Amino acid sequence: MYRQQSRNLSMNAIWIIMIANLLVYMVVLVEGQLIFDLGLQPGTWLERPWTIVTNMFVHGGLWHLLGNMVSLFFLGRFLISLTGETKFLIVYFLGGLAGNLVYIALGPEDTVAIGASGAVFAVGGALVSLIPNVRVLVFPIPAPVPLWVAIIGAFVVLSFLPNVAWQAHLGGLVFGLVLGYAFRGRRRSTFF
């Protein structure tokens, strides 16, 4: 059983990431070529090493951006409440990099990968390791499901969609699971 702690939850990191993603999205709307300049392409990433980070801020459409940012908001808030903002940032950015490395290793050499999904799946994976059975609502499922079912289910469903970099999702998810496991026992007491 957990005791309740103060709810002074800093969401600054999440808001900054969301604003940065929105600003990059708006710039890309004006200058579409930036998708290729900032996106990660396995065959050319050594010539353009910045893309292993910049691709996490580029999205291919409004629904892509909204899906990632809404997921980041809810999952990130959970993770910050358990581990603090610093560990959240470690999971998010290193998980995104891990996802990108798996995409480089397993993805098509001539395809550009964009989006924060690998980083978001890392956050989800960390939560699965920390609180796997907490029940969450997932649209359109009418009843709460265990968090691990929601995260793994989202991974499986998204893996079958066309033009999805499932390799980045897998890398982020596995990294998050491992890092979340490392955080077990060192988490804050929470309201769960």
* Residue 168 structure tokens: 């980045």
DSSP 8-state code for residue 142: S
Strand, helix or coil at 190? coil
> Active-site positions?
117, 169
In single-letter form, the type of residue at position 78 comes to F
Question: Nearest 5°: CA angle at 73, between 72 and 75?
Answer: 65
Residues sharing a CB contact under 8 Å with residue 3, sequence separation 6 or more, in sequence order: 189
DSSP element (H, E) containing 117? helix 117-130
Please report the sign of the dihedral spanned by the C-alpha atoms of residue 58, residue 166, residue 172, residue 68. positive
Contact of 107 with 165, CB cutoff 8 Å: yes
